[in-house]
Structure 1
Amino acid sequence: MSKILILVGSVRKNGNTELLANAFKQGAEKHNSVEIISVADYKINPCVGCEYCQNSDGNVCAQNDDMKIIYEKLKECDTLVIASPVYFYGISAQLKALIDRLHTPMRNTFSVKNMALLLVAGASLPQVFDSILVQYSLVLSYFKLNDLGKVLVTDVRQKGAIKENKSLLDAYNLGMSIK
């Protein structure tokens, strides 16, 4: 049984990304403990590159925001799922700010061993996910994480459009596959 943390990077409540993450959760919670965090609900400042965390006691960040909550969750989970809308060929700014804040020695205390990726794009271009997939691959390699899978959805711009897409079943099945 895995302890799964899903980080949803969309600010749109009940939007396509959240629906995809919920489908994944429904499948995954059959055999695992699953928590969804909507990054937009937390006050997370971008990294300022001050390097304070490199030398501070416990590698704490100089910024006093909600990132400390996320750090604690990452210490407890063994599987991390990134769910994001695609904005101009990248993940959301809210999620990017969180990811940049993982540039801390504190990451050595995280229990994460596995990752999965859920992406939703309004565009239908075949290359719409390429830059995110390169970054994802580099993160997997650098941290020696297992890739549990990806669900990549194109052409779902309007809120709720994903309900007509087989990707919800794909996300559910990906969640079910984690044991």
Structure 2
Amino acid sequence: MSKKVLIISSSPRKGGNSDTLCDKFMEGAKSAGNEVEKISLREKKINYCTGCGFCNTNDNTVCSQKDDAAEILDKMVEADVIVLATPVYFYTMCAQLKTLIDRCCARYTHIENKEFYFIMTAADLSSHAMDRVLAEFDGLMACLPGANPMGAVVATGVWQKGEVDKTIYPQQAFDLGKSI
């Protein structure tokens, strides 16, 4: 059965390591017959959550801010599968992705029963360096009704743009996408 897959790339660099792995994941998911859309946060205007509480007065459906977050959140609600991809800076997800996650307050109760996949890239050679990021994703999963984490590509030792191409990680991303 074909699924609706939404890939959210938070890489600030087009063709950066995490962005490249998103493309490979997309190739795999498409080859399995899924409908796939990739959103690049670097091309979107997403403001920080101001904590105003407006969304709480509107049944968690509307944010007072008028930017690109509403469109992305609508797509997250409609998707069957959500892929969150981030380069890892200072042992945490990048600000672009964290900003979008914080803006989920306006719709988080509607982002329910989704399969989640994660893509992370870091210069650090240790996979343990990614434990904090995985814990952050676990925190998000705990807030979303029926969230089902399915798998992750944890790409270490890739710093400069293009380094990921010489590793096993593109194949891992393709295979994970194809498994949907």
TM, length-normalised to structure 2: 0.92
Q: After TM superposition, give the deviation of residue 64 of structure 1 in Å.
A: 0.9
Counterparts of 1:1-179 in structure 2, within 5 Å, are 1-30=2-31, 31-56=33-58, 59-104=61-106, 106-110=107-111, 113-143=114-144, 144-178=146-180
Number of residue equivalences: 177
Q: After TM superposition, give the deviation of residue 138 of structure 1 in Å.
A: 2.8
Amino acid at match of 1:94: Q
Q: Which moved more, 1:127-136 or 1:55-64?
A: 55-64
Question: In 2 relative to 1, CA 58–115 (structure 1 residues): closer, same or farther, beyond 3 Å?
Answer: closer
CA distance in 2 between counterparts of 1:126 and 1:163 reads 18
Retained in 2: the 8 A contact 1:77–1:111?
no
3-state SS of the aligned residue for 1:152?
strand
CA distance in 2 between counterparts of 1:138 and 1:2 reads 25
Retained in 2: the 8 A contact 1:9–1:85?
yes
CA distance in 1 between counterparts of 2:90 and 2:80 reads 30
Deviations 1:84-105 (A, max 9, x none): 100111111111100000123x
What is the root-mean-square deviation of aligned Cα atoms in Å?
1.5
Question: In 2 relative to 1, CA 25–62 (structure 1 residues): closer, same or farther, beyond 3 Å?
Answer: same
Deviations 1:90-136 (A, max 9, x none): 111111100000123x2233355110000000111342111111122
Amino acid at match of 1:149: G
Runs (4+) of structure 1 exceeding 6 A deviation are none
CA distance in 2 between counterparts of 1:112 and 1:78 reads 8
Q: Which moved more, 1:81-90 or 1:144-153?
A: 144-153
- Structure 2 residue runs without a partner (length 5+): none
CA distance in 1 between counterparts of 2:119 and 2:19 reads 10
Q: After TM superposition, give the deviation of residue 75 of structure 1 in Å.
A: 2.1
Retained in 1: the 8 A contact 2:108–2:143?
no
CA distance in 2 between counterparts of 1:4 and 1:126 reads 26
Q: Which moved more, 1:94-103 or 1:117-126?
A: 117-126
**Percent identity over paired residues:** 37
Retained in 2: the 8 A contact 1:80–1:112?
no
3-state SS of the aligned residue for 1:103?
helix
- Structure 1 residue runs without a partner (length 5+): none
